[in-house]
């Protein structure tokens, strides 16, 4: 059987309507991401005006004393990304929401063929989810201004700014065939 990894172009005016789903990934209160509030608010307002599905991916730690464990302060959704009634919520404990969840079967059962990703982190959950989705046969768009990455100091002591890490993550995704757009590019023709 041939691999199912392929990319199908999405026209912006089709983005918020079936067979597309918006996946809002790990948009929790901590750490604060003020730069994402305006693009996420615009994106969700626009998407909710269409017929596409919205899926909120919530990643929590399984470690008993971790601040990232469900129910701890800061693990509630940011006010701009609170799921509304009828929007699906998938909880995962890994960077890949397709692992140990019914996300893949749920998306296919609802006729979804294209995923639009927003959230954190670009090189972590967003990248993992985008690449796995492609291999499952979905076409994928990542929204550059509705995603973010953390800064990092590597094992050599080199400090990498969050913006540099984010840009690198987007470039790698584009090189792998993921469409990268801004929220404005996606929504302007909706």
Residue 6 lies in a domain: no
Residue 106 lies in a domain: yes
Residue 2 lies in a domain: no
CATH code, 77:
3.40.50.850
Q: 0.75 cut: is pTM over it?
A: yes
Residues 6+ apart with CB under 8 A from 177: 5, 7, 134
Window from 14-28, 48-62, 120-134, 151-165 with minimum mean pLDDT: 14-28
Residue 7 lies in a domain: no
Using an 8 Å Cβ cutoff, are 52 and 18 in contact? yes
Number of structural domains (the chain) is: 1
Residue 74 lies in a domain: yes
Q: What pLDDT digit, counting tens, does each position of 99-129 carry? A: 999 999 999 999 999 999 999 888 888 999 9
Query: Can you give the residue range of the structural domain that contains 38?
Result: 12-187
């Amino acid at each position: 059987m041939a691999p199912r990894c392929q990319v199908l172009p999405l026209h912006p005016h089709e983005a918020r309507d079936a067979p597309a789903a918006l996946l809002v990934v790990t948009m929790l209160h901590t750490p604060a991401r003020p730069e994402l509030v305006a693009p996420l608010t615009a994106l969700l307002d626009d998407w909710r005006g269409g017929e596409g599905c919205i899926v909120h991916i919530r990643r929590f730690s399984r470690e008993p004393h971790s601040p990232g464990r469900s129910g701890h302060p800061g693990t509630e959704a940011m006010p701009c990304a609170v799921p509304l009634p009828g929007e699906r919520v998938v909880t995962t404990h890994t960077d890949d929401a397709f692992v140990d969840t019914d996300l893949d079967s749920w998306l296919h059962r609802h006729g979804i063929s294209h995923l639009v990703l927003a959230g954190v982190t670009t090189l972590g959950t967003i990248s993992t989810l985008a690449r796995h989705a492609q291999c499952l046969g979905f076409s994928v768009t990542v929204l550059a201004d509705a995603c973010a990455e953390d800064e990092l100091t590597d094992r050599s002591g080199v400090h990498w700014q969050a913006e540099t890490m984010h840009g690198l993550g987007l470039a790698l995704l584009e090189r792998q065939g993921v469409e990268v757009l801004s929220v404005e590019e996606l929504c302007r023709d909706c």
